[in-house]
Amino acid sequence: MPSPAAPPAAPIVYVLNGPNLNLLGTREPEIYGHDTLDDIAGQLEDRARELGLEIDMRQSNHEGHLVDWLHEAQAQDAKAVIINAGAFTHTSIAVHDAIKSIRTPVIEVHLSNPHAREKFRHTSFVGRAARGTIAGFGALSYRLALEAAARI
C-alpha cells in the first residue's frame, strides 16, 4: 500500500537581519525597543503559521552573508525576503545589486524611521532595489512586512 503523500511545504519567507541586530533589546532601546531578535522571530513564526507560511530568520554582521542568503532565497523559490540590513542599508551597493539580481520580492524593514534620524540614514540603497519599505513601527514593522509578503 503506498504511503500517503506528504503535505506540500508551506511557502517560505526569508527574514534577513544585518549588523548589530543581534543586540536588539539591549542596544539603544529608546530607539529600537526592548524586543530581542528572538522575540521578533517568535512573533513572526506565530503569525506565519496563521498565514500558511514558514519563516527562515537569520542574522549576520557580515555583508557577504546577506548577499549569499538573497541568492539562496531565489534558488529555494522563497515567496519573499524581508530584510533589515542595518547599517548596510546606507552603504552596501553589494546588497543593492543582490536584490536587483533576484526575482524574489524583497521588502525592506526598519524598527525606527531612518528619515527621522541622522542625515546619513536618509539614503537607502536597499530601498532603491526593494519592492517596498516598512519603517518606524518597532517590532510591528516586521509583522507588517510579513503581512505584505503574504499578499504578494
Looking at 14, 96, 110, 142, which residue is catalytic?
Answer: 110
* Contact by Cβ (8 Å): 122, 115: yes
Has 142 been annotated as catalytic?
no
Which H helix or E strand runs over 56?
strand 54-59
Type of residue numbered 1: M
Using only C-alpha atoms, what is the Rg of the chain? 16
Residue 130's closest CA among 120, 88, 119, 140?
A: 88
Q: Is 32 a catalytic residue?
A: yes
Q: Which of 14, 32, 96, 142 is catalytic?
A: 32
Residue with cell 523559490: 77
> What SS3 class is residue 14?
strand
Q: What region, left, alpha or beta, does residue 33 occupy, with left being phi > 0 and alpha being psi -120 to 50 degrees?
A: left
Question: What positions carry a catalytic annotation?
Answer: 32, 110
